[in-house]
Amino acid sequence: MIKTENITKRYLKNKVLDDISISIPDKTITGIIGPNGAGKSTLLKIISGFEFPDSGTIYINNNKVNKHSMIKKHLSYMPENMSLYPDYFVDEFLDFFHSAINYMDEKLMDSLSLKKIFYKKIKHLSKGWHQRLKLYTALANEKPVIILDEPFDGFDPLQMRDIIKIFKSQNSEGKSFILSIHQLSDAQKICDYFILLDTGVKIAEGSIDSLSEKFSCKSKSLENIFLEALGK
């Protein structure tokens, strides 16, 4: 389980996270949900150890995190604006990647259809293919928690369906996912646990059923629940 207690983060005078305490259950697909500027990416960066909070604590399996190496052992993280080596051919990049981490996942490579683009330069890939390659670098490991910031960016509905299958397959094998997702309808297709943020404040967290009950929303639509939570 990943927990945060009273996480606060400022950039200059702008408070982007305000006293965030959450508990993310193991082996779930958790969606960090909120509009632009809600603090989703900042929260993921802090959980992943790429940024430090001004105050607050992170726990992994009830152990207080006090150094980055503790996080690296448990988590794999893909930021939204991750850049790969543009002048590498895809197969050349993957050879470098596999040698760096001493791990290769042929099944995942096939699921993402990456062999179709082996002989293309990364800078010539479409946004969707570039995203697939980024996802491979995040998923090709044996770490128990995968954190992905806007993983569906660049995918059409059919491509997104294929990616969701991959996530659910890995989840069924015991991996936990924490996803930042802008589109609420997309989040409801894949996530079974939700953390609702707005302007750096946690509004609520829980399953669709528990959130629906909390906000007296009969439709069990994540969009309706979120609007109800914001009082709109």
From residue 12, alpha-carbon distances to 9, 15, 54, 199 in Å are 10, 8, 11, 16
DSSP state of 88: S
- As for how many domains the chain has, the answer is 1
192 near 207, Cβ under 8 Å? yes
Give CA angle at 175 (116, 85), nearest 5°: 40
In this predicted structure, what is the pLDDT of residue 230?
82
Cα gap 1→61, rounded to integer Å: 5
In this predicted structure, what is the pLDDT of residue 218?
79
DSSP state of 65: P
The SS3 of residue 44 is: helix
In this predicted structure, what is the pLDDT of residue 6?
97
In this predicted structure, what is the pLDDT of residue 232?
65
Cα gap 58→52, rounded to integer Å: 10
2: its two tokens? 């990943």
Residues (pLDDT < 50) of the chain are none
Percent helix / strand / coil, the chain, rounded to 5: 40, 25, 35
In this predicted structure, what is the pLDDT of residue 143?
94
In this predicted structure, what is the pLDDT of residue 69?
66
CATH code of 43's domain: 3.40.50.300
- Global pTM? 0.95
Range of the domain at 161: 2-230
